[in-house]
């Protein structure tokens, strides 16, 4: 079974759900996927991302590349994927490494990235959010609030991530499932980048933590990368989400 298929073990329902781009990992062991940013188009309307890592008990390498329409906040076209295992298209080399798989998949993705004029040299300004502040409200069941101040488009901005109790899902033993309210605050405006009404099916059940990972800005386009975790066996599973806005 291919790890990026809808409803399969590794990438569960990758796509646009409630205005969030989700690249989700779900494996039989505690595992984290990694990601790489592949660049913007000249006008910032499109961006490329790669999700990669090792999956399954045999720790088989995989890579998945997607093109994002940053204005519509949605993926364009099918995922471009390479993995090692049954039903996978992999490099024709014995025992391919993660490096081999990623190189093979990037070669496969060249046409799609070129179609949307995505340029690896257009990386924008990346902020790893190491100075973010995180406060956990125990009175609300451990809901967290993260914020970070930064300068963008000649204005002082604040990015705020607030966890809120989920309207759906159930407590899996790691606390009440939670949703997010993600906002970009600028002088005279409070813009909602993402506000959940319920947990989308693509994220899976029982999410018990969100956090801001990184942020890229390019012209008037912003890409916010979030990480979220949910209970797994034997440990928590961690996944990425990409929230985008353009023309700000």
Buried b (16+ CB within 10 A) or exposed e, 186-220: eeeeeeebbebeebbebbbebbbbbbbbbbbbbbe
User: What pLDDT shows up at residue 71?
Assistant: 94
Whose tokens are 């961006």? That residue is: 47
What does the block give as tokens for 78? 């099918």
Task: Show me where the domains of the chain are located.
Answer: 125-217
User: What pLDDT shows up at residue 170?
Assistant: 60
User: What pLDDT shows up at residue 2?
Assistant: 35
User: What pLDDT shows up at residue 116?
Assistant: 97
d(CA 172, CA 62) in angstroms, rounded, equals: 29
pLDDT in tens, the chain (248 residues): 333 322 222 332 233 322 345 554 433 344 557 899 999 999 999 999 999 988 776 788 999 999 999 999 999 999 999 988 766 777 777 888 999 999 999 999 999 999 999 999 999 999 999 899 999 998 888 899 999 999 999 999 999 999 998 877 665 555 678 899 999 999 999 999 999 988 877 776 677 789 999 999 999 999 999 998 877 666 677 888 999 999 87
User: What pLDDT shows up at residue 21?
Assistant: 54
pTM for this model (two decimals): 0.81
User: What pLDDT shows up at residue 84?
Assistant: 85
User: What pLDDT shows up at residue 89?
Assistant: 74
Whose tokens are 């494996």? That residue is: 27
User: What pLDDT shows up at residue 141?
Assistant: 80
Which residues have a Cβ under 8 Å from the Cβ of 161 and sit 6 or more positions away?
144, 145, 146, 147, 180, 181, 182, 210, 211, 212, 226
């Amino acid at each position: 079974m291919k790890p990026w298929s809808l409803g399969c073990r590794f990438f569960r329902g990758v796509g646009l759900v409630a205005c969030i781009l989700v690249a989700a990992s779900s494996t039989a062991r505690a595992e984290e996927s990694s990601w790489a940013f592949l660049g913007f188009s000249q006008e910032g309307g499109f961006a490329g991302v790669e999700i990669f890592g090792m999956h399954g008990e045999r720790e088989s390498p995989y890579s998945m590349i997607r093109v994002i329409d940053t204005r519509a906040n949605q993926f364009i076209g099918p995922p471009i994927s390479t993995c090692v295992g049954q039903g996978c298209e992999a490099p024709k080399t014995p025992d391919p490494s993660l490096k081999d798989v990623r190189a093979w998949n990037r070669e496969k993705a060249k046409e799609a990235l070129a179609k949307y004029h995505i340029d690896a040299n257009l990386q924008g300004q990346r902020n790893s959010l190491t100075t973010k502040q995180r406060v956990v409200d125990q009175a609300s069941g451990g809901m967290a609030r993260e914020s970070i101040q930064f300068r963008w488009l000649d204005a002082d901005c604040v990015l705020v991530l607030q966890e809120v109790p989920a309207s759906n899902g159930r407590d899996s033993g790691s606390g009440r499932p939670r949703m997010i309210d993600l906002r970009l605050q600028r002088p005279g405006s409070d813009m909602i980048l993402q506000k959940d009404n319920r947990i989308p099916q693509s994220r899976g059940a029982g999410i018990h933590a969100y956090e801001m990972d990184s942020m890229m800005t390019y012209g008037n386009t912003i890409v916010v990368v979030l990480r979220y975790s949910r209970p797994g066996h034997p440990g928590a599973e961690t996944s990425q989400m990409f929230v985008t806005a353009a023309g700000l």
